[in-house]
Amino acid sequence: MIEAEDVTRSYELDGVTVAALRGVSLNIRQGDYVAIIGPSGSGKSTLMHLLGALDRPTTGRLLIDGKDVTALSAPEMAKLRNETIGFVFQSFHLLPRTSAVDNVALPLVYRGLGARDRRRHAAATLERVGLGHRLGHRPNQMSGGEQQRVAIARALVTSPKVLLADEPTGNLDSATGVAVLDLLERLNTDDNVALVLVTHDRDVAARAHRQIAMRDGVIVQ
């Protein structure tokens, strides 16, 4: 699904080159459940951006769903994200003043789906994450756990091959966090979608089938 081979990523910051990733190789296959763990500044967010086709590696080879990311244009990367990746963010990133069902339907807008089909898909997906009764609610009318479940439904609505979750429980209390993780794991099992968790929480990481520990831009374990 995702193959990274000796991938590096460096930034220019005020004329100084900062190496965020110094050569990372990893494979993520269909149905995997992987946790990327490490302290802040270890490069785990940079790695997640690369795995999600939000960014291109400086050097190295990165294949996502068989496509070489370094060779893709911005619109092609957008299409790849839309079709292959589902993102779940720590701060949910829901559109304000927009109902749950419209938030979930957003990725389908960029697929060119008609409004009726979008809503039908979005409503069905919200049903799956247990929010069938909250279709018309706006983010500010829902709890943190509910908002994160809306975000998960949004990631799921396109039937992606990989779910990338960046600190998905970071803004939630522990009970709600566990419920969100349960939901993600159920999707991983039921849909055979690869689940990649980025976290600095060892308890969260421990639930994954495979752990990738990072430090100073390299994989240490």
Partner 1 sequence: MRLAEAWRVALDALRANRMRSGLTMLGMVIGVAAVVVLVALGTGTKETVEAQVEGLGSNLLIVVPGQVNFSSAPTLSRMDNSDLEAMVKVVGDRDRITASLTSGENVRAGSNTAFTTVNGVMESTPKVFLRDLGTGIYLSRTDVDTGRRVAVLGSLVAQRLFGERDAVGQQVTIAGVRFRVVGVFAPLGQSLGVDRDNEVHIPITTAQRLFGTGRVDAFAVKAPDRETIDQLGDQMLAELRRRHPDTEFSAVTQEQILGVLGDILGILTTVLAAIAGISLLVGGVGVSNIMLVSVRERTREIGLRKAVGARPRDIGLQFLLEAVLLTSVGGLAGMGLGVAASLLTAALTPVPATITWWSMALAFGVSAGVGIIFGVVPAQRAGRLDPVVALRTD
The residues that touch partner 1, with contacts defined as CB under 8 A, are 49, 52, 54-55, 74-75, 78-79, 81-83, 87, 89, 93, 95, 97-98, 106-107, 109-112, 114-115, 154, 158
Considering the complex, state which of residue 38 and residue 107 has its C-beta at the smaller distance from partner 1.
107
**Tokens 């589902």, residue?**
86
The whole-angstrom separation of Cα 221 and Cα 214 is 7
The whole-angstrom separation of Cα 53 and Cα 76 is 10
Least distance from partner 1 to the Cβ atom of residue 205, Å: 22
Nearest one of 65, 42, 37, 74 to 162, comparing CA atoms? 65
Considering the complex, state which of residue 55 and residue 179 has its C-beta at the smaller distance from partner 1.
55
Considering the complex, state which of residue 49 and residue 149 has its C-beta at the smaller distance from partner 1.
49
| Phi then psi dihedrals of residue 116, to 5 deg | -65, -45
Considering the complex, state which of residue 55 and residue 201 has its C-beta at the smaller distance from partner 1.
55
Query: Exposed (0-12), middle (13-18) or buried (19+): which is 13, by Cβ within 10 Å?
Result: exposed
The whole-angstrom separation of Cα 96 and Cα 114 is 22
Least distance from partner 1 to the Cβ atom of residue 203, Å: 26
Least distance from partner 1 to the Cβ atom of residue 153, Å: 12
Considering the complex, state which of residue 84 and residue 169 has its C-beta at the smaller distance from partner 1.
84
The whole-angstrom separation of Cα 38 and Cα 212 is 8
Least distance from partner 1 to the Cβ atom of residue 15, Å: 18
**3 state SS of 78:** helix
Q: Is 29 within 8 Å of 210 (Cβ atoms)?
A: no
**3 state SS of 64:** strand
Least distance from partner 1 to the Cβ atom of residue 186, Å: 22
**Tokens 């400086």, residue?**
58
The whole-angstrom separation of Cα 165 and Cα 152 is 9
Considering the complex, state which of residue 33 and residue 87 has its C-beta at the smaller distance from partner 1.
87
Least distance from partner 1 to the Cβ atom of residue 98, Å: 8
